[in-house]
Structure 1
Amino acid sequence: MYTWPCAPVLAQYVWHHRHSFTNCTVLEIGAGTALPGIVAAKCGAQVILSDSGQLPKCLRNCQMSCQANGIAGSVAVIGLTWGLFTPELLHLGPIDTILGSDCFYDPAVFEDILVTVSYLLEHNPRAQFVCSYQERASDWSLEHLLHKWNLSCTELKLATFDADTTNIADSNLPGSHTIHVFQITRSSSS
């Protein structure tokens, strides 16, 4: 399985902050190959991996990644579809951290992601959403949606957690590999 360039950067963030993940509950949304969630589980977090409930193949990929990494029995894999309020979303227990690697790949899904994240942060006020993002277009913005859903965003500088994006995952793919990591929380005015 190919791991997109954002996943190793977010996994590096988790590893750098591994002591803060011990005994925490982590939900990875849009998990795909689940690298950041697997690293969190290896660091002692209680992890729930999720991907679209409408794409069973994605959920099987998460399960296969857990099995390959020896954590199949201790990590839950659930179907969560961004923007839909399904029983899987409504019945989630307390969460400390939400992880998302390259979820913001298409402006058509930005609001669905933020609706889901806003709901989770509203029900887990001390939680944070940490996401990695590969810059694809300079005119893509979340600002109006963050404001609409009462969320605040802070960029986490890659150097603060020793991320090296000059040769991400030994990638030689053409194009830009500019990666950003953001922390999204509920706005303090809520």
Structure 2
Amino acid sequence: MKAVKIFSKKFQFINDKSKETLSIVIPELMDPNYGFYVWPCAVVLAQYIWYFQDAVKGRRILELSAGTALPGIVAAKCKAESVVLSDSFLLPDSLQHCKNCCAANELPDLPVIGITWGLFSPDLMNLAPVDIILGSDCFYNLKDFEDILVTVSFILEKNGECQFWCTYQERSSDQSIEPLLKHWDLNCSQVSLAEFQADGPDIANSGLPGNHTIQMLKIFKRKPKIG
């Protein structure tokens, strides 16, 4: 990785009921690569994980296109049974940056593997069992939508009750995934950001998501009709 300026951003998650806190430090690079800094969607997804810790405790987690891996790191801190982080095997610098973010939070041993949307790599084919898939702002470029859902559908098919928790930023009314969900035999449910105190402009003292409009979905395999 070429020499670039590194800035550290601190995220302070707070449980209003128990007053428990969690501090995460993410090194961000001044680089055109999207995966080198934290996006608003990542903070929203991390807030959901923090708010509903019991939902990830003891579960096996995979984060797709992890980038700075904020949601996956929070899941690991919330006592998930296992957390595997992934990014494209075509982007070795992104994989290394993901490892650096883990090391910055005393999680140097979290596995980081290469999974590229739409491609059936050895890491994808040999993936250990998964309960929850995480993805923040994967639905960015319309051309990638089907490749993302091909990968997600493959993992869900192999893992029974597994769900894909994803957050995305509304950028265009034309960017709908509904037809692709139907094509790949998937259903989804929307999660209100108000349910986990993520509907404001400043989560975890980060200044994010700001004025961006973020949505959260849970995607799962459609169950066959009986009779």
How does the TM-score come out when normalised to structure 2? 0.79
Structure 1 segments (4+ residues) deviating >2 Å: 164-169
Q: Given the alignment of the two structures, is residue 170 of structure 1 paired with residue 219 of structure 2, yes or no?
A: no
More helix by share: 1
Correspondence 1:113-128 to 2 at 5 A: 113-128=148-163
Give the fraction of aligned pairs with identical amino acids, expressed as a percent: 52
8 Å contact kept, 2:87–2:113: yes
- Matching residue of 2:96: 60
1: distance between equivalents of 2:44 and 2:208? Answer: 13
2: distance between equivalents of 1:126 and 1:40? Answer: 19
8 Å contact kept, 1:83–1:115: yes
Identify the match of residue 169 of structure 2 among 124, 134, 155: 134
8 Å contact kept, 1:9–1:165: no
Q: If you compute each CA radius of gyration, which structure gives the higher value, 1 or 2?
A: 2
Correspondence 1:78-89 to 2 at 5 A: 78-89=113-124
How does the TM-score come out when normalised to structure 1? 0.94
Q: Count matched residues.
A: 187
Identify the match of residue 105 of structure 2 among 49, 69, 93: 69
More strand by share: 2
- Matching residue of 1:181: 216
8 Å contact kept, 2:46–2:74: yes
| C-alpha RMSD of the superposition | 1.4
8 Å contact kept, 1:96–1:128: yes
| Offset, 1:167 | 3.3
Larger relative contact order (Cα-Cα within 8 Å, sequence gap ≥ 6): 1
Q: Which runs of 5+ in 1 are unaligned?
A: none
2: distance between equivalents of 1:137 and 1:159? Answer: 22
